[in-house]
Chains A and B, each alone.
Chain A
Amino acid sequence: MSDTSVGGGGGGAPVAAARAPAKGRGTDWLLLVAVVLVVITFVRAIYFTPIEASQGAAQKIFYVHAPSAWVAFLAFGIVAVTSILYLWLKDPKLDLAAESSAEVGVVFTTMVLVSGPLWGKPVWGTWWTWDARLTLTLFLWFIYVGYLVLRGAIEDPGMRARYSAVLGILGALLIPFIHLSVYLFRTLHPMPIVLKPSAPSLPKQMLETLLFAFVSFTVLFLAFLRSRYRLAIDRAAREAEERR
């Protein structure tokens, strides 16, 4: 058995963690808090945030689209960091954290890719355009879907962890290009209005709703990540048992 597999020679801690799957199986309080925060975000965005005059109500897609994009970048950033640490420390728990973060990141990126065209059609007059920001985001999604497919295709845990760590790190290199693409290339996509060197350029009510949305979607991400990580630990323990 590979020394990098959960339950392998040096993997006492992961096994200990994996053999306590009952822990936390009750109510997921973090997920409940996240759901409440997201519901408050939606209510605030729909009923208590003014409609932007030139774009109309479709601009409210912003409060779902931008926080989902932020979380996607955060998720893939975590994949890169945990993958680097895995290649250095060879701790299987880091590989499982990367796997979990990648899956959750793909979910949030899917939301970005779905909500973007819904906003683009009424504002730009087209569902999709092959400009740098949109195309690179689609590539990011493909890379991490590929990452998950790769993991499913390799049986040996050590090899799976090494190969996917490399892909996870390389995929995250797209993130700065995506963020800077609106400065580097001609694009229909608007410039950043919050994550930029100068002060955010939004009216106060819109900015408050947006910042609240960033917080609530981040909490939702953490809840998903924790739950998915527990699932990964359980699966790794089962895999280790089957190999015995």
Chain B
Amino acid sequence: MTPDNAGYYHAAYVLAVVIYGGYALSLWFRRR
């Protein structure tokens, strides 16, 4: 039976957005 563990990958994708989005914002702020 396929386990129900979608929460983990949702968390990983949200963290990817936070980490990469946060870094893009940090570059933008530092160049201002």
A contact residues vs B (CB 8 Å cutoff): 25, 31, 38, 42, 46, 51, 53-61, 64-65, 68, 104, 107, 110-111, 114-115, 118-119, 121-122, 220, 224, 227-228, 230-231, 234
Contact = CB atoms under 8 A, between A and B. Distances in A.
Q: Which of A53, A65, A122 has the most CB of B within 10 A?
A: A122
Contact of A56 (B4, B12, B13, B24): B4
A118 B14 CA distance: 12
14 contacts: A56-B4, A59-B9, A61-B9, A64-B16, A68-B16, A107-B19, A107-B20, A111-B19, A114-B19, A115-B15, A118-B15, A122-B3, A220-B20, A234-B31
Given A115-B15, A119-B12, 17 more contacts: A55-B3, A56-B3, A56-B4, A56-B6, A57-B4, A57-B5, A58-B5, A61-B9, A107-B23, A110-B19, A111-B20, A114-B15, A114-B19, A118-B15, A227-B31, A230-B31, A231-B31
A228 B16 CA distance: 19
Nearest to B16: A64
Interface of B: 2-6, 8-9, 11-13, 15-16, 19-20, 23-24, 27, 30-31
B1 to A, nearest CB: 9
Nearest to A114: B15
B24 A42 contact: no
Given A61-B12, A65-B12, A111-B15, A38 B5 contact: no
A227 to B, nearest CB: 5
A224 B31 CA distance: 13
Contacts of A121: 8
A199 B4 CA distance: 30
Nearest to A54: B2
Q: Which of B2, B3, B8, B13 has the most CB of A within 10 A?
A: B8
A199 B28 CA distance: 41
A57 B7 CA distance: 8
Nearest to A116: B12
Contacts of A122: 3, 5, 8
